[in-house]
Structures are given as C-alpha cells and as structure tokens.
C-alpha cells in the first residue's frame, strides 16, 4: 500500500519562512493548520492564513481561488498524515486485534488533530482537487487492503465501508464527548471492545 507524499514539508519551518523561501502554497496550508490547531478553525479564512504566513491578504488568491480550495489542500495533508499513522500502527494486519489497533490509531488521530480532522470530514471541500481526491482514494485503497488481509472471505467493498463507518463513528463520539476520552486507556478499551464485538458477531454468523 503506497500512501501519498505530504504537501510540502509541513511543520518543519514557520509559514513566514516558507513564503520567503518561495513556497507560498505550503506556507498558507501550514498557516491554516496552525490556526485549526489553535482555535478549531473558527473564522479560518484566506485572510487569516495570509496574516499568519506574513503575506498580503491578496497573495493567497494566486494559488487558492477561495476558502474551499485552501481547505481542500489542508484536508489532503490530513488524509496523508492519517494514512501514515494507520500504516505505522500495524503495517501488516492479520487479525481482528490488528484491526482494532488500526482503529485505535484512527481515533487517536482524531483526538490529537481535532481541528484538522473536522476539516477533513465536516467542511465542504473541492471534489475536483487532485491532491484531496488522490489522498481520499489512497485511504479507500488502504481500507480494502486491510479488510482483505484480515477477512479474505468477506466482500471487501461493503466490509471496508462498514469498518470505516464504525471507526469514524467512534472517532466523533469521542470527539463530541459522547464516549469517555478522559484517559488513553478509556479510549483504547472503548475502541478495541467495539471492533471485537462487531467482527466477532460477523464471524459467528458466517460460520453458522
């Protein structure tokens, strides 16, 4: 499974320094991500990103025609970061417990990068953005890959959708305070128990 390269070397140098080195698009994306991490994206705009990057308010429009285009680039970075986290959590999954480990990495990403995660999944994005489209496709491909690895007899498409729906729901339930996220162990137990319960039921029915 090959995940996409990140959009620039996000996070290595301040946005203003990026701009002065001639990488304005990445500087603006980094500025937007910093603002998301600080205030959850309230009042995030091209103007706000420009101010954080240390450029004129007109400068972003050379690369991003509107806020949606900027958020699409931000979302692409988020999908790439999420993908790397999932692969790192368990490079070659074989068991339901391995799936639970990957699910936990997904929820942990949502809790750790909540502003970025919400942009990825709740903000309107440009569906024609090449970076975002490719990043989402890579996540879909990865989900199919791990489902086939763990449950080769299942129909990979619907099973991958069901798996994503489960884990994504767990992420937002924790984010929104509907499930206990006060400790790492509470999150881990919740996620692992849910994944095991769903796949145990599925395996029991298929064996009967």
Considering the domain boundaries, does residue 8 fall inside one? no
Burial class (CB in 10 A: 0-12, 13-18, 19+), 170: buried
pLDDT at 21: 46
The CATH code of the domain that includes 187 is 1.10.357.10
Considering the domain boundaries, does residue 90 fall inside one? yes
How many domains does the structure of the chain reveal? 1
Considering the domain boundaries, does residue 150 fall inside one? yes
pLDDT at 7: 38
User: Which residues of the chain fall below pLDDT 50?
Assistant: 1-12, 21, 204, 208
The C-alpha atoms of residue 101 and residue 115 are separated, in whole angstroms, by 23
Q: What range does the domain containing 195 cover? A: 65-207
pLDDT at 79: 92
pLDDT at 85: 95
Considering the domain boundaries, does residue 44 fall inside one? no
pLDDT tens digits, 147-159: 888 888 888 889 8
pLDDT tens digits, 33-55: 999 988 776 678 999 999 999 99
The C-alpha atoms of residue 181 and residue 183 are separated, in whole angstroms, by 5
Please compute, for residue 191, the number of CA atoms within 13 A of its CA located in the half-sphere on the CB side. 33
pLDDT at 131: 86
Considering the domain boundaries, does residue 18 fall inside one? no
pLDDT at 8: 38
Burial class (CB in 10 A: 0-12, 13-18, 19+), 162: middle
The C-alpha atoms of residue 135 and residue 144 are separated, in whole angstroms, by 15
Considering the domain boundaries, does residue 116 fall inside one? yes
User: Looking up tokens 């039921």, which residue turns up?
Assistant: 201
Considering the domain boundaries, does residue 22 fall inside one? no
Considering the domain boundaries, does residue 47 fall inside one? no
Helices 130-150 and 67-89, axial angle in degrees (round to 10): 20
The C-alpha atoms of residue 158 and residue 160 are separated, in whole angstroms, by 5
pLDDT at 110: 97
């Amino acid at each position: 499974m090959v995940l996409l390269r990140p959009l620039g070397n996000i996070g290595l140098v301040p946005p203003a320094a990026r701009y002065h080195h001639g990488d304005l698009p990445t500087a603006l994306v980094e500025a937007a991500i910093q603002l998301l991490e600080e205030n959850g994206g309230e009042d995030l705009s091209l103007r706000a990103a420009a101010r954080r990057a240390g450029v004129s308010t007109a400068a972003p429009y050379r690369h991003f025609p509107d806020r949606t285009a900027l958020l699409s680039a931000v979302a692409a970075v988020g999908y790439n970061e999420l993908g790397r986290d999932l692969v790192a959590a368990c490079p070659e999954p074989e068991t339901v417990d391995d799936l639970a480990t990957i699910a936990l990495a997904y929820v942990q990403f949502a809790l750790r990068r909540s502003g970025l995660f919400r942009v990825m999944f709740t903000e309107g994005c440009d569906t024609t953005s090449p970076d975002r489209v490719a990043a989402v496709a890579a996540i879909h491909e990865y989900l199919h890959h791990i489902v086939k690895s763990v449950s080769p007899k299942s129909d990979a498409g619907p099973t991958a959708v069901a798996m994503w729906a489960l884990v994504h729901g767990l992420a937002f339930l924790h984010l929104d305070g509907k499930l206990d996220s006060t400790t790492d162990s509470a999150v881990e137990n919740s996620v692992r128990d849910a994944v095991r319960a769903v796949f145990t039921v599925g395996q029991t029915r298929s064996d009967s």
